[in-house]
Amino acid sequence: MSQTDQSKHEKEITFSAKEILENVRPTPVKSNGLSGEEKQRVIAGHFRGIMETLGLDLENDSLTKSPERVAKMYVNEIFQGLDSENFPKITVIENEMSYDQMIVIKDVNVMTFCEHHFVTIHGKAQIAYIPRKRVIGLSKVNRITKFFAQRPQVQERLTKQIGDALAFILDTNDIAVSIDAKHYCVISRGVEDVGSSTSTCDLRGAFKNDGKTRAEFMDICRR
């Protein structure tokens, strides 16, 4: 390893999924020891029973493979955030520029599922932090958001989990997470209100305690 490569390596910090998730408020899960393939097989069986109970004809060409499709989607796609092995690789670098102003990642896509009715929650997140000793690659913020969104969720917990992860990884309390989303448990059932959305914020450090910093972040979010 050259001196340059060694110097670069020493300025990088890589975190394991385990140490990050230990510092994030938990999702209510209970280990069942099943592999991914076993989960798919069990879910497919249960979903087949649901479809039959609803009176659907599973011998129809359009429906016959639906239980397996749903099981694969649940395990490998929309709920893959339940498996810590899927947490993105996270490396931060030393803030050698001494940058001390807020960094804002705007309009981060949020697609998750309500844990009460298992229907879609879809919206945007505005995420900011003020660096101290560490900065993070911008795409990693989107990947962290996506990981926690790929679980059955409530929006309040999702907002906090993103904030918890970034506060630990970046070693700063100056974190802001704002999510505005539409809930299809409100749109497609119950009150059937297609116009409303829900906003949540997790403001920490200067974003919570300094009025000017909070106002600047909120102004950027509104633009």
Q: Tell me the whole-structure pTM to 2 decimals.
A: 0.94
Rg of the chain over Cα atoms, rounded to whole angstroms, equals 21
Nearest to 220 by CA among 132, 133, 127: 127
- The candidate with the shortest Cα–Cα distance to 192, out of 119, 124, 123, 125, is 119
Task: Look up residue 144 and give its two tokens.
Answer: 């962290």
- The CATH fold of domain 94-222: GTP Cyclohydrolase I, domain 2 (3.30.1130)
The residues near 121 (Cβ < 8 Å, ≥ 6 apart) are: 110, 111, 112, 113, 114, 153, 155, 181, 182, 183, 184
Report domain extents, the chain: 36-82, 94-222
Can you tell me the mean pLDDT for 82-97?
A: 96
* pLDDT on residue 3: 43
pLDDT digits (tens, 9 = 90+) for 95-152: 999 999 999 999 999 999 999 999 999 999 999 999 999 999 999 999 999 999 999 9
For domain 36-82, give its CATH number from 3.20.20.370, 3.40.50.970, 1.10.286.10, 2.60.40.10.
1.10.286.10
Quick: pLDDT tens for 2-42. Answer: 444 544 545 899 999 999 999 999 999 999 999 999 999 99
Give the pLDDT score at 10. Answer: 53
Instruction: Look up residue 156 and give its amino acid.
Output: E
Average pLDDT for residues 76-89, to the nearest whole number?
A: 97
Under the banding of pLDDT at 50, 70 and 90, the label for residue 223 is confident
The pLDDT of residue 216 is 97
In the predicted model, what is the mean pLDDT of the chain?
95
As annotated, the active-site residues are: 114-117, 155, 183, 185
pLDDT tens digits, one per residue of 158-179: 999 999 999 999 999 999 999 9
Q: For residue 11, what pLDDT is reported?
A: 82
